[in-house]
Chain A
Amino acid sequence: MVKISLAAAAVLLALGFPLLFSGPFPLHVAIVTLIFAGLGVAWNIMGGYAGMFSFGTAAFFGIGAYTSTWLSTAHGVNPWLGLLAGGAASALVAAAIGWPCSNLRGHYFAIASIAFAEIVRTHFNNWKLVGAAEGLMIPIRDGGLRVFQFNQSKAPYYFIALAFLALALLACRAISRSRMGYYFRAIKESHELAMVLGISFVRYRLAAIMIAAFIAAACGTLYAQYVLYIDPESVLILSVSVQVVLVTMLGGAGSLFGPVIGAAVLVPLSEITRAQLGARGTGVDMILYGALITLISVYQPKGIWGFFAGGLPRRKRPAPQPRLEPSSPGVA
Chain B
Amino acid sequence: MLQQLANGVLIGCVYSLIAIGLTLIWGVMNIVNFAHGEFLMLGMFVAFWGYALWGIDPLWSIPASAALLFLLGLAIYRFAVSKVMKGPMLAQLVVTFGISIFLANLAVLLWTPDFRLIDKPLLAGTWNLGPLQISVPKAVASAGSVLVSGALLLFLQRTRTGKAILAVEMNRDSALLVGIDTERVNALSFGIGAALVGIAGGFLAMYYYIYPQVGGLFGTLSFCIVALGGFGSIGGAFAAGLLVGIVQTLAGYFFDPAYKYAVVFLLYLLVVWFRPQGLRGW
Residues of A within 8 A of B (CB): 47-48, 51, 53, 100-101, 103-104, 106-108, 110-112, 114-116, 118-119, 122-123, 125-126, 238, 242, 245-246, 249, 253, 282-284, 286-287, 289-299, 301, 315-316, 318, 321, 323-326, 329-332
Contacts of B86 in A (CB 8 A): 315-316, 318
Min Cβ gap A100→B in Å is 4
Chain B residues whose C-beta falls within 8 Å of the C-beta of A295 in the assembled complex: 98
Which stretch from B1-9, B59-67, B127-135, B256-264 is at the chain A interface?
Answer: B256-264
In the assembled complex, B183 has its CB within 8 A of some CB on chain A: yes
Interface centre among A125, A126, A287 (most CB of B within 10 A): A287
Asked if A112 and B94 sit within 8 Å, CB to CB, the answer is: no
Query: Among A53, A238, A291, A323, which residue has its beta carbon within 8 angstroms of that of B90?
Result: A53
Q: Is B185 an interface residue (CB 8 A)?
A: yes
Q: Which 3 A-B pairs have the closest CB atoms?
A: A290-B102, A293-B98, A290-B101
Question: What are the interface flags for B218-251 relative to A under an 8 Å C-beta threshold, 1 for contact and 0 otherwise?
Answer: 0010011001000100000000000000000000
Kindly state whether residue B143 has any CB partner on chain A within 8 Å. Answer: no
Q: B208 contacts the other chain (Cβ, under 8 Å)?
A: no
Q: Which residues of chain B have C-beta atoms less than 8 A from A253's C-beta?
A: 90
* A259 smallest CB distance to B (angstroms): 13
A320 CB to nearest B CB, Å: 13
* Inter-chain contact B265/A118, CB cutoff 8 Å: yes
Bitwise interface map of B from 90 to 127 toward A, beta carbon under 8 Å scored 1, else 0: 11111101111111111011000100000000000000
Which single member of A107, A245, A294 contacts B227 (CB below 8 Å)? Answer: A107
- Does B156 lie at the interface of the complex (its beta carbon under 8 Å from any beta carbon of A)? no
A193 to B161, CA, bound (A): 37
Q: When chains A and B are docked, how far (Å) is the Cα of A51 from the Cα of B90?
A: 9
Nearest Cβ distance between residue B240 and chain A, in whole angstroms? 13
Q: Which residue of B lies closest to A245 (CB)?
A: B94
The main secondary structure of chain B at its interface with chain A is helix
Q: How far is the CB of B192 from chain A (nearest CB, A)?
A: 15
- On chain B, the residues within 8 Å of A297 by CB distance are 80, 84, 87, 91-92, 94-95, 98
Interface membership of B273, Cβ < 8 A: yes
For residue B273, which residues in chain A have a CB less than 8 angstroms away from its CB?
Answer: 100-101
User: Which of these, B83, B177, B184, B227, contacts A324 with CB under 8 Å?
Assistant: B177
Query: How many Å lie between the Cα of A123 and that of B256 in the bound state?
Result: 12
Contact call A246/B97, Cβ cutoff below 8 A: yes
A115 to B223, CA, bound (A): 9
A330–B93 contact, CB under 8 A? Answer: no
Distance (Å) between the CB of A282 and the closest chain B CB?
5
Cβ of B265 and Cβ of A119 under 8 Å apart?
yes
Are A332 and B160 touching (Cβ within 8 A)? Answer: yes
**Supplied contacts A293-B97, A294-B98, 9 more A-B pairs, CB within 8 Å:** A107-B93, A107-B231, A112-B272, A114-B223, A118-B262, A123-B262, A284-B105, A290-B100, A298-B84
Give Cα A191 to B227, complex, Å: 20
Check if B223 sits within 8 Å of A294, measured CB to CB.
no
Docked-complex contact A332 and B161, CB < 8 angstroms: yes
Q: How far is the CB of B74 from chain A (nearest CB, A)?
A: 15
A249 surroundings in chain B (CB, below 8 A): 90-91, 94
List the B residue with the shortest CB-CB distance to A125: B258
Residues of B within 8 A of A326 (CB): 176, 179-181
Shortest C-beta distance, A38 to chain B (Å), equals 19
- Write the nearest CB–CB distance from A133 to chain B, whole angstroms: 10
The answer for the CA separation of A332 and B164 in the assembled complex, in Å, is 7
Pair B269/A116 contact, Cβ less than 8 Å: yes
Kindly provide the distance from the CB of B194 to the nearest chain A CB, expressed in whole angstroms. Answer: 16
In contact, B95 and A126 (Cβ under 8 angstroms): no
How far apart are the CA atoms of A139 and B94 in the complex, in Å?
39
Given contacts A108-B227, A249-B94, contact A238 B32 (CB under 8 A): no
Say whether A286 contacts B105, CB under 8 Å: yes
Chain B's nearest CB lies how many Å from the CB of A184?
A: 15
CB pair B224–A115 under 8 Å, yes or no, is yes
Q: Tell me the nearest residue of chain B to A316, going by C-beta.
A: B86
Q: Are A298 and B97 in contact (CB under 8 A)?
A: no
Q: In the docked arrangement, what's the CA distance between A51 and B87, Å?
A: 14
Instruction: Give every chain A residue within 8 A of B183 (Cβ-Cβ).
Output: 329
A-chain residues with CB within 8 Å of residue B105 when the two chains form the complex? 283-284, 286-287, 289-290
Q: Which residue of B lies closest to A118 (CB)?
A: B265
- Report the separation of the CA atoms of residues A44 and B185 in the bound assembly, to the nearest whole angstrom: 34
